[in-house]
Homo-oligomer: A and B are copies of this chain.
Amino acid sequence: MRLVIARCSVDYEGRLRAHLPLATRLLVVKADGSVLVHSDGGSYKPLNWMSPPAVLRAVEPDEDDREAGVESVWRVQNAKSDDRLIVRIHETIHDSTHELGVDPGLIKDGVEADLQRLLAEQIDTLGAGFSLVRREYMTAIGPVDILARDAEGRTVAIELKRRGDIDGVEQLTRYLELMNRDPLLAPVRGIFAAQKIKPQARTLATDRGIECVTLDYDQMRGVDDSASRLF
């Protein structure tokens, strides 16, 4: 990994075109040829970048660039597409290279899969007398997150999201439409469950006869003590 602090301007051409005027920035060159251009603020997204695999070639500036004060030009070309990044370096303030080795990678807990496991275990939080049929119930158009049965024995299709957006409602609607054509399952109740449900999504769901439930992941994790043994 190479770290460079430099006064530079940057141009990207590919899926769109983008330009960064001259300023001092951090340039990170990774082992796979990818390049990140970071400013001293904002969040983790670089101002501009090149995705791997890519090849960096440092070339001599042409006459115009040299007159404008350009010291060196990086041409970063993606190996699989036409995307390219051009960095014009006017002044190098820092330049160092380091061996990092391969990273063992990230271990996560609390993503949708964990929510799904917890909700399946605590299915009666959705209503007294609820019982689990199965998780990831396959249909012709994709898997329903959780299939359950309510106290009256009616089939319940549950769509689970961390953030309840409008497209989650659309997804559940498609499943319900399909499942209600199956005389063995119909009539099927729909429940849209999420940690937070957007007003638009709630309106659409209600309009289509889908119930909305907001989940408290911390509380659900508290009930299940296996989570505390993870780390």
- Which residues of chain A have a CB within 8 Å of any CB of chain B? 1, 3, 5, 11, 15-21, 23-26, 28, 30-32, 34, 36, 38-49, 51-52, 93-94, 96, 98-111, 141, 162, 167, 170, 200, 230-231
Residues on the B chain within 8 Å of A231, using CB: 11, 17, 19
CA of A20 to CA of B11, assembled, Å = 34
Residues on the B chain within 8 Å of A28, using CB: 26, 38
Which one, B18, B93, B96, B105, contacts A94 given CB within 8 A?
B96
**Cβ–Cβ contact A31 & B24, under 8 A:** no
Residues on the B chain within 8 Å of A106, using CB: 18-20, 47-48
Residues on the B chain within 8 Å of A48, using CB: 106
**Cβ–Cβ contact B39 & A43, under 8 A:** no
A-B contact pairs, 15 of them (CB 8 A): A1-B26, A1-B38, A17-B108, A17-B109, A17-B230, A18-B106, A21-B107, A23-B101, A24-B98, A39-B102, A40-B103, A41-B103, A47-B105, A94-B98, A167-B170
**Cβ–Cβ contact A93 & B104, under 8 A:** no
Copies in the complex: 2
**Cβ–Cβ contact B47 & A103, under 8 A:** yes
CA of A174 to CA of B147, assembled, Å = 27
**Cβ–Cβ contact A111 & B25, under 8 A:** no
Q: Known pairs A15-B162, A16-B111, A167-B167. 7 more at Cβ < 8 A?
A: A17-B110, A32-B41, A32-B42, A40-B101, A41-B102, A44-B49, A47-B103
Residues on the B chain within 8 Å of A170, using CB: 167, 170
**Cβ–Cβ contact A98 & B44, under 8 A:** no
Residues on the B chain within 8 Å of A52, using CB: 41-43
CA of A41 to CA of B41, assembled, Å = 22
Which one, B1, B19, B25, B45, contacts A100 given CB within 8 A?
B25
